[in-house]
Structure 1
Amino acid sequence: MDWDKLRIFHAVAEAGSFTHAGDVLNLSQSAVSRQISALEEALQVPLFHRHARGLILTEQGEAMNRTVREVFAKLAMTEALLTESKEKAAGRLKVTTTTGFGGTWLTPRLPAFLEAHPDITITLILEDGDLDLGMREADVAIRMHPPRQPDLVQRHLADIHLPVCAAQSYLDRSGTPNTIEELDNHRLVLFGSYHPPSPDINWIASAGRPNGSKRLSTLEVNNLAAMADAIEAGLGIGTLPHYMLNDRPGLKKILTGVKSPVIEAYFVYPEELRTSKRVAVFRDFLLSEMAARS
């Protein structure tokens, strides 16, 4: 099998059309189509179902793409390790974490890291779902749960608490609840999404309720920064990661005697990057910042 044809096949499989793959590869649609047809003819199997709205991999195409993805992932990993400076941390580091943590805690601290390590560049992917580090969708991840993949190196970063908070303007208007049960009489701001950054993010919705029934919310939004804005504006009571409250003096902790869930944050990366200097200095930076701002 021709490597160049496999590269084109992989691009088409990921893009779902000859046109989009051509844009990525800087080739014409017809040139991409010819290469795929030649590969199918050489293998004597169809790799794609062609229809008006695009392309769908056949069963044989799915099998081929799984193998090709693994091969190119390993090649990308090898390239990154070979091009890394042996004297100092250098090169591009692809980082993924949740949208809330990445947007409100990590991004404001990246300038200090990049100033300290000018030969490193960062690609930041904010996604509440877990990207596949083994398939090189990212180099490293900051996750709000222990790693589920056994082949990943992990380092515990911090315990993140989820205190209950509100704006003083809301408390002046609606009163301050003294027990968790009194939240039944208050407006709540909750995280609304099929992919929450943590399963405990909405713990106040059912805390203190019989049989796990849930309180209704005044607002649900799938973004922690927007939740914080709404709570700070006096819309209602909510729960946020404690690191967000440090930078928002308009948010006041309430129900401090109630024990809240704890999110365990981990820094994870593939075994192949254990000796990477880029990974090591980024990990140490995170640990230092977490210790200083906890």
Structure 2
Amino acid sequence: MQKLNWDDFRVAHIVAKAGSLAKAAALLQCNHTTVLRHINRLEEALNVKLFIRHQRGYKLTDAGVIMSEVLPEIDSQFLSLEDKLQSIQQDFSGKIRITTVTSYSALLAPALQAFRRQYPKVRVELLATDEVIPAQSGAVHVALRAGPKPQDPDIIVRHVASITMAYYASQSYVDEFGLPNDVSQMNEHQWLMPDKSKHHIPFINEVIKRLCNDSVVYSSNQFLDIQSAVLCGMGIGPVSELEASKHKHLVKLNSSDLFATDFVGSLWYTYHKDLKDNAKVKALYEFFLNHTRHLSA
């Protein structure tokens, strides 16, 4: 048997996910001939067919299915090994992989910029997703999670910031339409509200149940979209206090207890306990903490 090459396995896995050489080549930023060379070399070394070539792309054989099921776990183990070895060296180079919910990804940029300015040899990879990526998967080093404190015994959890929200409108909206002085005037205004997936949040539910359908002129399943609509003057909507502090043209509604600032959870900096001595992970936490303190001051 020829010597196996891990890069060949990695390329084969990407082809399996992409379904074609062209798509895999685009992901790998190389040409399809290079991808094909990896596939041919791996199949020759194993003496096993992993793919069936057809006009619509590459389909997995039974052997290919087994490969595709097992490789993610092996890849995770390699990433974990890389992290442990780099933790021993304690230098500030290489990658740091971060995940957070989509609504907060943009909020991290200033802290990451400051971190990169101090540690220019570190490359940041950010994955914004509403899915929880298990720390033990090795896919990321750090996760910033919003909501209740995570209870996973295998992760270290550190508090970054309390998440409070309030209702805001841009100054341009206020200049044109004013603001409601009490509950009776709510339906005289244009509201930007989360869709039904967020109506269970008390802060949202107390307002939405008092609004007519016609008063809600814009809705989204993401708070980030609502925020963008508020910033451009489309209407009144919920915005986090941290984000609002960056935009001086936002006007906060505070004429009623209904619109008072409400605590909706916290932002948590989490990482696997195996990374407790990782210099990059520990340093990055301080940047996030200092940045959110500056915004809330």
TM score, norm. by length of structure 1: 0.77
Comparing 280-289 and 91-100, the one that deviates more: 91-100
Per-residue CA distance 1:81-125 (angstroms, 9 max, x = gap): 32356354433211222333221x211232322223334332223
Offset of residue 138 of structure 1? 2.2
Instruction: Give the direction of change, closer, same or farther, for the CA distance of 1:179–1:121 in structure 2 (3 Å limit).
Output: same
Correspondence for 1:140: 142
Offset of residue 208 of structure 1? 4.7
Per-residue CA distance 1:204-253 (angstroms, 9 max, x = gap): 65325659997752123566565444324432100011111111111111
C-alpha distance in structure 1 between counterparts of 2:152 and 2:51, whole Å: 31
**1:206 is matched by which residue type in structure 2?**
N
| 2:257 is aligned with 1:257 | yes
**1:138 is matched by which residue type in structure 2?**
V
Instruction: Give the direction of change, closer, same or farther, for the CA distance of 1:235–1:203 in structure 2 (3 Å limit).
Output: farther
**2:40 is matched by which residue type in structure 1?**
R
Question: 1:97-112, aligned counterparts within 5 Å?
Answer: 97-103=100-106, 105-112=107-114
Offset of residue 267 of structure 1? 0.9
Offset of residue 273 of structure 1? 1.6
Per-residue CA distance 1:126-178 (angstroms, 9 max, x = gap): 33433454333322121213447553322222211110111344335434224
2:34 to 25, 28, 35: 28
Question: 1:93-172, aligned counterparts within 5 Å?
Answer: 93-103=96-106, 105-145=107-147, 146-147=149-150, 151-172=154-175
**1:90 is matched by which residue type in structure 2?**
S
Correspondence for 1:245: 244
Correspondence for 1:267: 269
**2:37 is matched by which residue type in structure 1?**
A
Aligned residues: 286
C-alpha distance in structure 1 between counterparts of 2:128 and 2:215, whole Å: 29
**2:247 is matched by which residue type in structure 1?**
R
Correspondence for 2:234: 235
C-alpha distance in structure 2 between counterparts of 1:203 and 1:214, whole Å: 19
Offset of residue 14 of structure 1? 3.1
Question: 1:65-104, aligned counterparts within 5 Å?
Answer: 65-84=68-87, 86=89, 88-103=91-106
Instruction: Give the direction of change, closer, same or farther, for the CA distance of 1:262–1:214 in structure 2 (3 Å limit).
Output: farther
Correspondence for 1:217: 216
| 2:4 is aligned with 1:7 | no
Offset of residue 202 of structure 1? 7.7
C-alpha distance in structure 2 between counterparts of 1:55 and 1:226, whole Å: 38
Q: Is the 8 A contact 1:206 1:215 kept in 2?
A: no
Q: Is the 8 A contact 2:79 2:138 kept in 1?
A: yes
Correspondence for 2:282: 280
Gaps of 5+ in 2: none
**1:280 is matched by which residue type in structure 2?**
K
Secondary structure at the aligned position of 2:96 is classed as: strand
Comparing 231-240 and 61-70, the one that deviates more: 61-70
CA-atom RMSD in angstroms: 3.7
Aligned sequence identity (%): 24
Offset of residue 262 of structure 1? 1.1
TM score, norm. by length of structure 2: 0.76
C-alpha distance in structure 1 between counterparts of 2:92 and 2:192, whole Å: 43
Per-residue CA distance 1:62-96 (angstroms, 9 max, x = gap): 44323221112211221233235635443321122
